[in-house]
């Protein structure tokens, strides 16, 4: 089977993220980057599926030149093809723009059986790009999977729910989004790193995909950040010393934020 | 004419979800509120929705909405939105809410703002407030183009208020196309409440090396139970073998976004913060006033966990009438 | 940030991959120090292999 993984490459999560007050976007330049841990889980699941059922894994990522390190990580883990959506035109894309770009790229690739995404990215948490991609590709979305099984032409997952899980099934080709606890991604070994270096990463610009300023980039965004500022609550973080009343103070706080 | 705000109503474990009623109350406070209720629901659901502010309920009770996920509901919603053009539609940041808002935004080519903590109606628009990057920034966003406006709302953003109204009911027929019946629910399994899973928990009590012994986790479990929450841990205590890896929160463990995160004996190493910085509120208990966690805590208590947590447990029990 | 000289780009890339791999191997193995020695042994072996490659210093092979 041919499995396509859509993954983000994000600034290293060990670095404090900041938003530039002028552009109102996350400061990504000059930061070390890594494959989003949620995407690593998706790559791992894809690799396990093709180890079991035969086939190959392709990683697709949209990002600046910083993204190549993450794409190479996926290749070093065992993916055999990498696709990089690169270009200024993509900058400032909202979720739907990102989904349109990824879907357009996927349509250019050899036919696939399954698309896997992380449920949410570790830096921006919207959690909606996967279903947008599925809709644009016209394939069934199976989301929040904490267990995945492929049987012939159908896929079934355990879809997390508020009360437990649902067993959900669809015919391939389909898209699944996987939760962060699904597996422990393998780390790249030397052999994988050397093999990855021989793989040429395919690059697509927005023009290559037939996408224009009405589809991707800040110009196409359907949502606009108006202002970014320090939130009142965190700025007023209170530190007290326990003098026997610490527990009560916490209880008061919990009541104030309506947890109890 | 007042703005119409729609709420996607959800039923979990046989009852309308708290977030549904919270969003409805807020919608009714700022405009005319209407609810869309698809799938299995308790017999008095429309009545309850009316009592919490819905002027109208669009009710689709065909089993297709329960047997097949996302696509039938998506189709029904798209048809309704095109016909009635509400000013905005609110979805909970739940499993179903996210799937539907996502699908709708693709289908209607419209904007969707996630993780909304508050919203306001303005001249011809909606402005939403979002805690970005784990509360280290607060962003206000709006919709940049005309079209349906979808908002994914965080739980407990608003107060649910029973105002005692009545809703008219309009039936929503089941969409017919077989192509919508592709994501099939084969079974629903209830996992007995050992407490909620970390990823879905509204409250998380987490322990680090500052607890000093593995036994201290019994205390954290008791606290978590009182809060209806889950227990997490740092990499340090997992490495030390005190608790299993499944409880690890951080860069190489789980990522969580609870309403409250109580960090007990946790210093606040960056790789741990990476997993919980999206928490709505952070409480920290640590003996070290220099611990980095205090920079991120909304309430920091400099003290010994083994004294503060039992105090807290006693106080919570007292308030619940259990002491 | 130090600007990379043009023909060391491939080298930088390669070393960054190696360093990230060593880091990933360690973070994978650490939680299992108590419960799974097989994972730990494998990670140690893989780190040795990665670092051994760097120590041998055949730069021409790395950037080939």
Say how far apart CA B7 and CA B153 lie, in whole Å: 10
Model confidence pLDDT, tens digit, residues A82-101: 999 999 999 999 999 999 99
Q: How many CB atoms lie under 10 A from the CB of residue B146? A: 11
- Residue of C15, C16, C17 to mutate, testing the A interface (most A Cβ within 10 Å of its Cβ): C17
**What is each CA distance from A8 to A30, A66, B64, B323, in whole angstroms?**
17, 11, 35, 50
Chain B closest-CA separation from residue C34 CA (Å): 6
- One domain, residues B232 and B302: yes
Mind listing the pLDDT tens digit for each residue in B78-95? 999 999 999 999 999 889
- In Å, what is the CA distance from B275 to each residue of A242, B229, B262? 27, 17, 13
Which among A135, A164, A122 is positioned nearest to B13, based on CA atoms?
A164
Same domain (yes/no): B134, B261: no
B69 Cβ contact list (under 8 Å, min separation 6): A142, A159, A168, B99, B183, B184, B185
Set of chain A residues whose Cβ sits within 8 Å of the Cβ of B308: 242, 246-247, 250
Phi then psi for residue A45, to 5 deg, are -65, -40
Phi, psi at residue B307, to the nearest 5°?
Answer: -105, -40
- Dist. CA B259–CA B283, nearest whole Å: 11
CA distance C33 to C46: 16
What angle do the packed helices B95-108 and A129-137 form, to 10 degrees? Answer: 50
Do residues B144 and B225 both lie within one domain?
A: no
What pLDDT shows up at residue B196?
67
Residue that wins the pLDDT comparison between A15 and C22:
C22
Q: Is B260 helix (H, G, I), strand (E, B) or coil?
A: strand
**Which range marks the domain in which residue B128 is found?**
4-180
Shared domain for B176 and B216, answered yes or no, is: no
Q: In C, which residues are within 8 Å of B251 by CB distance?
A: 27
Q: How many CA atoms lie within 13 A of C51 on its CB side?
A: 10
**pLDDT > 60? residue A231:** no
Could you read off the pLDDT of B211-259 as tens digits, one per residue?
Answer: 988 899 999 999 999 999 999 999 888 877 788 877 889 866 787 889 8
Least CB–CB distance from A73: residue in C14, C20, C25: C20
Whether B100 is covered by a domain: the verdict is yes
Determine the distance in angstroms separating the CA of C21 from the nearest CA of chain A, rounded to an integer: 5
Chain C contacts of B252, Cβ < 8 Å? Answer: 27-28, 31
Percent over 90 (pLDDT), chain B? 65
Name beta bridge partners: B112.
Answer: B150
Rounded to 10 deg, the angle between the A190-197 and C9-29 helix axes is 150
Question: Residue B240's CB: how many other CB atoms inside 10 A?
Answer: 14
Model ipTM value: 0.87
CB-based contact, C45 to chain B, within 8 Å: no
Mean pLDDT of A73-89: 97
Q: Which domains are seen in chain A, by residue range?
A: 2-220 (3.40.50.620)
Q: Which residues in chain B have Cβ-Cβ distances shorter than 8 Å to A135?
A: 74, 102-103, 106-107
C17/A190 CB distance under 8 A: no
Q: Where are the beta strands (DSSP E) in B270-322?
A: 281-286, 299-302
A43 CA to centre of own chain: 11
**Chain A contact present for C2, CB below 8 A:** no
Which chains have 3 or more CB–CB distances shorter than 8 Å to chain A? B, C
Counted domains in chain B = 2
State pLDDT tens for residues A236-260.
578 999 999 999 999 999 998 888 8
Q: Are strands B125-132 and B118-122 parallel, antiparallel or unpaired?
A: antiparallel
Tell whether C23 is within 8 A of chain B (Cβ): no
Residues B88 and B222 in one domain: no
Question: To 5 degrees, how large is the angle CA B72–CA B76–CA B82?
Answer: 145
Between CA B322 and CA B315 the distance in angstroms is 10
Rg (CA), chain A: 20
Are residues B98 and B51 part of one domain? yes
Q: Let me know whether B103 and B173 are in one domain.
A: yes
B190 domain-assigned: no
Closest-CA residue to A97 (of A118, A126, A139, A69): A126
Closest in A165, A228, A240 to B189, CB measured: A165
pLDDT confidence of A234, banded at 50, 70, 90?
A: very low
Domain boundary among B147, B180, B213: B180
Q: How far is A170 from chain B (nearest CA, A)?
A: 5
Please, which pLDDT band fits residue B134 given cuts at 50, 70 and 90? very low
Same domain, B158 and B130: yes
Looking at residue B164, what DSSP letter applies? Answer: -
* Shortest distance, CA C39 to any CA of chain A (angstroms): 11
Check A37 against B251: CB less than 8 A apart: yes
> And the tokens for A198?
């021989």
Residue B24 lies in a domain: yes
Token output for C41: 């042994």
CATH code for the domain of B119? 3.40.50.620
C-beta atoms of B184 and A169 within 8 A: yes
Q: What is the pLDDT of residue B250?
A: 83
């Amino acid at each position: 089977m041919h499995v396509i993984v859509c993954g983000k490459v994000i600034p290293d999560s060990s670095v404090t993220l900041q938003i530039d007050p002028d552009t109102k976007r996350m400061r990504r330049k000059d930061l070390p980057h890594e494959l989003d841990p949620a995407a690593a889980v998706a790559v791992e699941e894809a690799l396990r599926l093709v180890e079991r059922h035969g086939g190959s894994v392709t990683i697709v990522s949209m990002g600046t030149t910083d993204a190549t390190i993450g794409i190479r990580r996926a290749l070093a883990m065992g993916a055999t093809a990498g696709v990089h959506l690169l270009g200024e035109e993509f900058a400032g894309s909202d979720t739907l723009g990102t989904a349109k770009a990824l879907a357009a790229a996927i349509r250019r690739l050899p036919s696939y059986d399954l698309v896997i995404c992380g449920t949410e990215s570790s830096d921006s948490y919207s959690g909606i790009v996967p279903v947008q991609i599925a809709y644009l590709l016209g394939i069934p979305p199976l989301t929040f999977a904490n267990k995945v099984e492929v049987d012939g032409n159908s896929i079934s997952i355990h879809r997390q729910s508020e009360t437990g899980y649902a067993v959900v099934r669809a015919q391939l080709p389909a898209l699944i989004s996987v939760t962060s606890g699904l597996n422990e991604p393998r780390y790249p070994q030397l052999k994988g790193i050397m093999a990855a270096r021989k793989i040429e990463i395919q690059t697509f610009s927005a023009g290559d995909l037939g996408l224009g300023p009405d589809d991707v980039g800040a110009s196409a965004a359907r949502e606009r950040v108006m202002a970014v500022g320090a939130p009142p609550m965190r700025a007023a973080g209170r530190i007290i010393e326990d003098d026997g009343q610490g527990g009560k103070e916490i209880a008061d706080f919990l009541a104030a934020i309506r947890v109890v | 004419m007042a703005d119409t705000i729609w709420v996607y109503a959800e039923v979990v474990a046989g009852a309308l979800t708290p977030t549904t009623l919270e969003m409805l109350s807020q919608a009714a406070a700022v405009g005319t509120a209407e609810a869309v209720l698809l799938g299995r629901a308790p017999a008095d659901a429309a009545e309850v929705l009316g009592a919490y502010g819905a002027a109208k309920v669009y009710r689709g009770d065909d089993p297709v909405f329960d047997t097949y996920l996302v696509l039938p509901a998506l189709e029904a919603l798209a048809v309704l939105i095109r016909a009635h053009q509400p000013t905005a539609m609110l979805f909970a940041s739940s499993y179903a809410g996210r799937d539907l808002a996502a699908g709708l935004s693709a289908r209607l080519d419209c904007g969707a703002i996630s993780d909304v903590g508050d919203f306001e109606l303005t001249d011809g628009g909606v402005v939403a407030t979002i805690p970005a990057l784990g509360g280290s920034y607060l962003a206000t966003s709006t919709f940049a183009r005309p079209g349906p406006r979808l908002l994914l709302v965080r739980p407990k953003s608003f107060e649910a208020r029973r105002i005692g109204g009545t809703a008219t009911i309009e039936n929503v027929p089941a969409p017919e196309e077989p192509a919508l019946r592709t994501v099939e629910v084969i079974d629903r399994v209830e996992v007995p409440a050992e407490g909620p899973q970390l990823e879905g928990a509204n409250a998380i009590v987490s322990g680090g090396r500052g607890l000093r012994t593995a036994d201290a986790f019994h205390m954290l479990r008791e606290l978590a139970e009182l809060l209806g929450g889950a227990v997490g841990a740092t990499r340090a205590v997992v490495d030390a073998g005190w608790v299993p890896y499944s409880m690890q929160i951080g860069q190489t463990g789980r990522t969580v976004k609870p309403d409250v995160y109580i960090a007990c004996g946790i210093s606040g190493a960056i790789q741990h913060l990476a997993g919980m910085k999206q928490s709505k509120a952070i409480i920290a208990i640590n003996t070290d006033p220099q611990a980095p966690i205090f920079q991120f805590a909304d309430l920091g208590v400099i003290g010994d966990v083994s004294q503060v947590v039992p105090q807290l447990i006693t106080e919570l029990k007292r308030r619940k009438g259990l002491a | 940030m130090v600007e990379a000289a043009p023909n060391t780009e491939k080298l930088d890339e390669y070393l960054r991959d190696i360093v990230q791999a060593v880091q990933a191997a360690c973070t994978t193995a650490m939680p299992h120090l108590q419960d799974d020695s097989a994972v730990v042994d494998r990670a140690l072996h893989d780190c040795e292999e990665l670092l051994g490659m760097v120590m041998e210093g055949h730069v021409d092979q790395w950037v080939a």
